[in-house]
Amino acid sequence: MTWSNTDQEKEKERETFIYYYDSFIIYHNHIVPFSVYFQLIFQVVQEYERAILFRLGRVVPGGPKGPGHESFVVLLFYTRSRIIC
């Protein structure tokens, strides 16, 4: 089977569309949620505050976090933080 110019162009357009569509789906299903997740897990305690971390209802070893601009990681669904002044 020989391909005409128009068939080759249509095939190229189809491949280009599939490439961009796949890239769009991968970006919105993987990269965007991970970006949001990483923004949610980092928390910062202000100078005058301290935070107590609870993991599965128990106090995390290491005591309260802070004072100062100390950041810590909160594992979503497992760790809760309570800010005390």
Any idea what the Cα angle at residue 23 is, between residues 31 and 36, rounded to 5°?
Answer: 15
For 45, the enclosing helix (H) or strand (E) is strand 42-45
Q: Mean pLDDT, the chain, as a whole number? A: 80
Q: What is the pLDDT of residues 1-20, one digit of tens each?
A: 555 567 778 888 888 888 88
Instruction: Please count the other Cβ atoms lying within 10 Å of the Cβ belonging to residue 3.
Output: 10
pLDDT digits (tens, 9 = 90+) for 32-52: 888 888 888 887 777 888 888
Q: How confident is the model at residue 70 (pLDDT cuts 50, 70, 90)?
A: low
The DSSP code for 4 is: P
